[in-house]
Amino acid sequence: MDHTNSEPNNTNGAKMPDNTKLEEVLKNYAKEQNQDNLSAVLNSLRYAHLFVPAVFPEGTDLTFLKEAKQGERVNIPQGITPLPSILKNQKGEQYLPLYTKKEEIPKDQKFHTILEVTFRGSYMMVLREGSKLEGLALNPFHENILVKKTLLEKLKVQDDKLMEGKKVVKLSAEQYHALVRRNLELKTIPHMLFEDGDKFTKELCEGREAYVSELYRNAFPKEPGAPYTAEDFEFMALNVREDLLLIRVDLPEKGLVPGLCHRVYLAWNEQAKKAYYFTIEKTPKKEEHAMGRVDETGKRIDCGMAPVEGAEIQSVLDLIDEEKIEAN
């Protein structure tokens, strides 16, 4: 039965973990077991989410699983404790198996569900007092990399020190709002543009203000939610040149603080398959705005003070032309 049970605070719609990089370093270590490859494995594991098959104690009411669709992510009800499947080798040593993806789990293995677990949570199970586990087995039916208890104890010491060094910073509602919005305006939206400029600009032009509003709604948690509606945005698309689509999006003034954007300009050259992203940002000085651009790597590049609003489009076009000249 293929159900993935997540931790209580995960949502059913969340994406499954992508462990592609971890799988690469596991294969490298399996081929050549040296210190550098081992360090790469451990670094990739530190924040990884992995899979382990599990069963429920006899007599457990499994109605919540029967009602779920095949492959659907579900939450385990309170009071029900799954038992992870344990592997035993020829020496009688027991290991907790961890898989980088569900497809790594043998189809003939019997289990009720598949748990999504953190690496730290997994090794804490091994190190728990009274545990008979010798360690962790990573992808035991392929790379079969064993991480023994002695190494896990050292990792725990390192992780504990890292956690002690982290300072908890409490943000006000206004600070949190600005943090979410800045990440959206300077990270998420340009990333979507550069990832697939043709698709993103088409969806943007079709949805206009409602589409942008939805991006902001999804960026904020459900409670209290995004403080904006589609009416807070203004959208304008211009075919300024035969080969260039320019989109201007005016953003809400509500909650605007220095560092956030008054508006953004997105440009898409269909012939060259080239995207550009520019920002007009609020500064501490009321009458002055900053102009910037975000490149394909996600780096913000300062473009100096923004011109008057009526000259912004020309400045954007000039900067695009300058980049073309430098490229040639």
Q: Would you list the DSSP string of 193-262?
A: HHH-HHHHHHHHHHHHHHHHHHHHHHHS-TTT--S--GGG-EEEEEEEETTEEEEEEEPP-TT--TTSEE
Output the pLDDT for position 5.
Answer: 53
Average pLDDT over residues 176-191: 93
Rounded-to-integer distance, Cα 255 and Cα 286, Å: 15
Sorting pLDDT into bands at 50, 70 and 90, what band is 167? low
Residue 147 has pLDDT above 90, yes or no: yes
Q: Are residues 92 and 161 in the same domain?
A: yes
Sorting pLDDT into bands at 50, 70 and 90, what band is 10? very low
Compare 28 and 1 and report the one with higher pLDDT: 28
Q: Are residues 102 and 198 in the same domain?
A: no
Residue 162 has pLDDT above 90, yes or no: no
Compare 206 and 62 and report the one with higher pLDDT: 206
Longest dimension (CA), the chain: 77
Domain membership of residue 70 as a residue range: 4-165
Rounded-to-integer distance, Cα 112 and Cα 166, Å: 38
Domain end call among 118, 147, 165 = 165
Q: Are residues 75 and 198 in the same domain?
A: no
Output the pLDDT for position 59.
Answer: 80
Q: Are residues 194 and 311 in the same domain?
A: yes
Residue 72 has pLDDT above 70, yes or no: no
Q: Are residues 27 and 56 in the same domain?
A: yes
Q: Are residues 192 and 213 in the same domain?
A: yes
Rounded-to-integer distance, Cα 32 and Cα 322, Å: 48
In single-letter form, the type of residue at position 26 comes to: L
Rounded-to-integer distance, Cα 314 and Cα 324, Å: 15
Domain tally, the chain: 2
Domain end call among 149, 165, 181 = 165
Average pLDDT over residues 64-92: 79
Rounded percentage of the chain residues whose pLDDT exceeds 70: 91
Q: Are residues 213 and 276 in the same domain?
A: yes
pLDDT, tens digit, for every residue of 237-283? 999 998 999 999 999 999 899 999 999 999 999 999 999 999 999 99
Output the pLDDT for position 70.
Answer: 66
Residue 1 has pLDDT above 50, yes or no: no
| Cβ atoms of 258 and 283 closer than 8 Å | yes
Output the pLDDT for position 79.
Answer: 75
| CA torsion angle 71 73 76 81 (round to 10) | 60
Output the pLDDT for position 4.
Answer: 55
Residues making up the chain, counted from first to last: 328
Name the nearest CA neighbour of 269 among 187, 201, 189, 191. 201
Q: Are residues 189 and 310 in the same domain?
A: yes
Q: Are residues 177 and 160 in the same domain?
A: no
Q: Are residues 107 and 217 in the same domain?
A: no
Residue 104 has pLDDT above 90, yes or no: yes
Q: Are residues 111 and 186 in the same domain?
A: no
Helix (H), strand (E) counts: the chain: 9, 15
DSSP 109: -
Q: Are residues 155 and 204 in the same domain?
A: no
Average pLDDT over residues 180-200: 94
Residue 220 has pLDDT above 80, yes or no: yes
3-state SS assignment for residue 35: helix
Residue 98 has pLDDT above 80, yes or no: yes
- What are the backbone angles phi and psi of residue 84, rounded to the nearest 5°? -60, 145
Rounded-to-integer distance, Cα 42 and Cα 29, Å: 11
Helix 149-165 crosses helix 119-127 at what angle (to 10 degrees)?
120
Return the number of other C-beta atoms located less than 10 Å from residue 89's C-beta: 13
Output the pLDDT for position 203.
Answer: 95
Domain end call among 165, 191, 210 = 165
* Least confidently predicted of 2-16, 18-32, 190-204, 280-294: 2-16
Query: Average per-residue pLDDT in the chain?
Result: 88
